[in-house]
Structure 1
Amino acid sequence: MSVIKQLLHYLNLESEVEDFDKIHQTIEKDIIFKGTNLWILIFAIIVASVGLNMNSTAVIIGAMLISPLMGPINGIGYSVATYNFPLFRTALKNFGFAVAAGLTASTGYFALSPVSTAHSELLARTSPTIYDVLIALFGGLSGIVAISSKQKGNVIPGVAIATALMPPLCTAGYGLATAQFQFFFGAFYLFTINTVFIAIAAMVVSQLLKFPIITLAGEAHKKKVNQWISVVIVITILPSIYFGYGLVQKERFNENVARFTKNVSVFEGSYLLRYESNPGTREIMMVYGGNTLTEDHKLMLEEKARDFSLGNATLNIRQGFSLNESSNSEVDNLKLEISRLNMQLAESERKADSLEKKPLVGEALLAELNAIFPDVVSCSYAETYLYTMPAREQKRVGQVVLTFKNDNPEQEDRQRIITWLKRRLNTEAVKVLFETE
């Protein structure tokens, strides 16, 4: 029980809550779009539009940071929680003005811009899911808690980046300017998700921290307000759940395709050159090169796809090039090229293997010679070139340096060692040097 009390003590916000009048003044000031706030809004709209048009993540983040759009959204949530309906109307009116200004400015910019390609930053704002609901909700909770606290910190800029209000609004303007209404609806839906759940977060925290009620409202009125809030939440969240489910299915499909194509990268003497997958239509396009794939082979691939949960996917198998169907000259050329490459590979492997084993030759010679001549204490081996005058002819020789503990061996023993080394190294080109310690 004491652990629970201690945990509740750590989670308690009441001791750090700012004076209610100061919170009210802060929220009320951020709602109004005139003077400084209005100019910042205009600049943020242009910056975000340029960033989306140029596909610049850094510029888009800058627009998020300077955007004042969160002010009226927090005001909407706060005013609903405190039943301050005059403030609610003011916040809603200013928010509507900001949205209209954002759409107008971004639509005008994209209509005039010579660059109309939809880059990744634009596309990322057109497919909202349930995960965007979570981001908006918890980002909004962080924002309103920071506003309500005496310790402001740097939470608000982080919330502005995470919830990203300005980019989807400008993306909606791009959809209007280019008459691509799927962009408009997708982006505006993401903007709506962010707006609704940031406002819901502001409302919940305002109620939990027991902000003073500004206007007395009867139970019937409160019930009606709560019903409207529930309707807005349900209408906003249901499509995002559907889109979130679709996103999960697409990711699962892509993972299964990756595992399947890896498994059949080499199939019946044919090689998978490339593949493309479309999760929306559940179609997999595969291009093979090598032996011609027959209809039976294609049926075998479709059967194998079922092992990777791709039974309902459509396989579009194409032949990039076929050795079977090529002309004789083409086949011969390909075979010669393959043979040449195999010979190069074998030679490279032989050289690499030889270089890797060279340092071990001296060690092996020392071990074997020491068994015959115990006075041998060291041995080195290297391959070099011997040059002779006057023609400066060169000859590759193996050079062996032997070190003896005491005196050098007699001439007869030297000749025995030289003869043994020539046989051991399988070459007559051996130069042997004898040394003593």
Structure 2
Amino acid sequence: MNTITRFLNLHFGEEAKDKVLENVTSSISFRGANVWILACAIVVASVGLNVNSTAVIIGAMLISPLMGPIIGAGFALGTYDFNLLKKSIKNLGIATVVSLFVSFLYFLLSPFKEAQSELLARTAPNIYDVLIAFFGGLAGVIALTRVEKGNPIPGVAIATALMPPLCTAGYGLAIGNFSYFGGALYLYIINCFFICISTFLIVKLLKYPKVKFVDDQKEKKITRIISTLIIVILIPSFYLAYALLQEKKYSQQVNEFIQTEFNNKGYTLIYEKTYFNNRPKMIELAFLDKRFSPNELQELNGKLENYGLQGTTLKIRQDSTDLKKDILAEINQQSKNVSEKDVIIQNLRKELQSYNFDDKELLKEINILFPKLAPYSIGKQLVIIRPDSSFYQNTLTYQGKTEISIDDLNKLKAWLQAKFHSESFQIIKAD
């Protein structure tokens, strides 16, 4: 038992408490450089959310200095240092306002205002976000109190994700969507609060000395306030987790219904939309060539209860004109989402094709028409006229041992120009 206790002992490898407190206190302030670093990190995170780039968002989270005042508040609560607590809350407030303003300004000026998946992921927090914040915070604070800090702290900054919710809240303000703003701000509050609570627990567990004498009554009062805040913040997250679970379950039931009643019978589904938040809920479908009679529709609606889809209405769209409009609108919307990377890839593919001379039929014809040519090479060659002037030219270089007449070389050149639709084709005899 003693061996296990020693193995799990958090005091092993612990940094001196006064040094840890000094480091924590110094990281709280938001003045000068810290404000500029925060503003730059917010812009980077906003761009990442705007273009749906996870790598850019992770980079922004590593730059951000937001963790300082949150950890400071946790240490202040654990040591009953109310001056440090006031300072931490004040600086966290400054950082939050600066972040919201910068992200709001960015999204207000950005021409791309469509909600990407990385943005939408921060608008509906739940109990899982609480667990991430709490256990991420625990890992971060434990690392902070070690002599050897290791690499958990950057990982905590990424896992707890303080920056993206703030940027999403700024996005919600910029487009006037207060549902996005409220959801993202709630996620940010969850992250801040539970990182702070995990810090408080580790500080108590490691027995950091109290800065001021606090009687039992005051200590119990602080504990009650913290417990109440935990409950108040947890209740909405439990509700949102339950709502998410219900939506996932409903989606599975809809898929089972469609698979059994339509796909297994050979009907080709071309349009599907589910309205989970409608009252009543609705499933909207359309098929390639199958047309349903009123009796069939009534029968299918009656079968919904067999799949646990009570309170749901099935609507099958059979008006081809309206359906075409919706499908075309969806295709157009998807085409707008094609990223710049896809365009670059397509251009590069076209460019590579212009360099591709691996045409077996062409090579076969050359070998038949000009058998004395081999061995030879064919491709694009960079021709440099001056240091600042150059161009690519189609070139055939041959090493045939038998001499080829001028007439044959002119015929070969004319033939290659016709084949490649290019007036610029050079034939060179290699020495």
TM-score norm. by structure 2 comes to 0.71
Query: SS of 1:284's equivalent?
Result: strand
Q: How does 1:122-161 map to 2 (within 5 A)?
A: 122-161=119-158
Q: How does 1:191-340 map to 2 (within 5 A)?
A: 191-266=188-263, 270-281=267-278, 282-319=281-318
Partners of 1:267 and 1:13 lie apart in 2 by 59
The structural deviation recorded for 1:267 is: 7.6
Change over 3 Å in CA distance of 1:272–1:144 after alignment to 2: same
CA contact (8 A) 1:30 1:71 kept: yes
- Answer yes or no: is 1:57 the counterpart of 2:57: no
Instruction: Report what 2:165 is aligned to.
Output: 168
Note the residue ranges of structure 1 that are not aligned, 5 or more in a row: 322-437
Change over 3 Å in CA distance of 1:6–1:295 after alignment to 2: farther
Q: 1:48 aligns with which of 45, 49, 57?
A: 45
Q: Provide, for residues 270-326 of structure 1, a one-character-per-residue CA deviation record: whole Å limited to 9, x for no partner.
A: 5433322222223211213444312221232223322221122221122367xxxxx
Change over 3 Å in CA distance of 1:202–1:292 after alignment to 2: same
Q: Provide, for residues 213-232 of structure 1, a one-character-per-residue CA deviation record: whole Å limited to 9, x for no partner.
A: 11111122212211221222
Partners of 1:259 and 1:56 lie apart in 2 by 33
Partners of 2:285 and 2:183 lie apart in 1 by 31
- Answer yes or no: is 1:187 the counterpart of 2:184: yes
CA-based RMSD of the aligned residues comes to 1.7
Partners of 2:58 and 2:290 lie apart in 1 by 52
Query: SS of 1:277's equivalent?
Result: strand
Instruction: Report what 1:108 is aligned to.
Output: 105
**AA in 2 matched with 1:312:** G
Q: Provide, for residues 360-410 of structure 1, a one-character-per-residue CA deviation record: whole Å limited to 9, x for no partner.
A: xxxxxxxxxxxxxxxxxxxxxxxxxxxxxxxxxxxxxxxxxxxxxxxxxxx
- Answer yes or no: is 1:177 the counterpart of 2:174: yes
Q: Provide, for residues 407-435 of structure 1, a one-character-per-residue CA deviation record: whole Å limited to 9, x for no partner.
A: xxxxxxxxxxxxxxxxxxxxxxxxxxxxx
Change over 3 Å in CA distance of 1:258–1:21 after alignment to 2: same
Partners of 2:207 and 2:164 lie apart in 1 by 33
Instruction: Report what 1:404 is aligned to.
Output: none
Partners of 1:305 and 1:11 lie apart in 2 by 54
Note the residue ranges of structure 2 that are not aligned, 5 or more in a row: 321-431
Partners of 2:63 and 2:123 lie apart in 1 by 22
Instruction: Report what 1:94 is aligned to.
Output: 91
Query: SS of 1:14's equivalent?
Result: coil
Instruction: Report what 2:79 is aligned to.
Output: 82
Q: Provide, for residues 13-35 of structure 1, a one-character-per-residue CA deviation record: whole Å limited to 9, x for no partner.
A: 11121110111011111111124
Change over 3 Å in CA distance of 1:266–1:126 after alignment to 2: closer
Query: SS of 2:12's equivalent?
Result: helix
The structural deviation recorded for 1:124 is: 1.0
Partners of 1:248 and 1:275 lie apart in 2 by 21
Instruction: Report what 2:422 is aligned to.
Output: none
Structure 1 residues 209-218 or 278-287, which shifts more? Answer: 278-287
Partners of 1:219 and 1:228 lie apart in 2 by 14
Q: How does 1:364-375 map to 2 (within 5 A)?
A: none
Partners of 1:93 and 1:269 lie apart in 2 by 64
CA contact (8 A) 1:269 1:291 kept: no
Q: Provide, for residues 231-279 of structure 1, a one-character-per-residue CA deviation record: whole Å limited to 9, x for no partner.
A: 2212211111111100000011111111111112258785433322222
Partners of 1:131 and 1:113 lie apart in 2 by 31
TM-score norm. by structure 1 comes to 0.70
Q: 1:119 aligns with which of 116, 119, 123?
A: 116
**AA in 2 matched with 1:287:** A
Change over 3 Å in CA distance of 1:294–1:130 after alignment to 2: same
Instruction: Report what 1:13 is aligned to.
Output: 10
Percent of residue pairs identical? 45
CA contact (8 A) 1:131 1:244 kept: yes
Instruction: Give 4+ residue runs of structure 1 displaced > 6 Å after superposition.
Output: none
CA contact (8 A) 1:136 1:197 kept: yes
The structural deviation recorded for 1:210 is: 0.8
Change over 3 Å in CA distance of 1:7–1:238 after alignment to 2: same
Query: SS of 2:132's equivalent?
Result: helix
Q: How does 1:321-360 map to 2 (within 5 A)?
A: none
**AA in 2 matched with 1:302:** N
Instruction: Report what 2:361 is aligned to.
Output: none
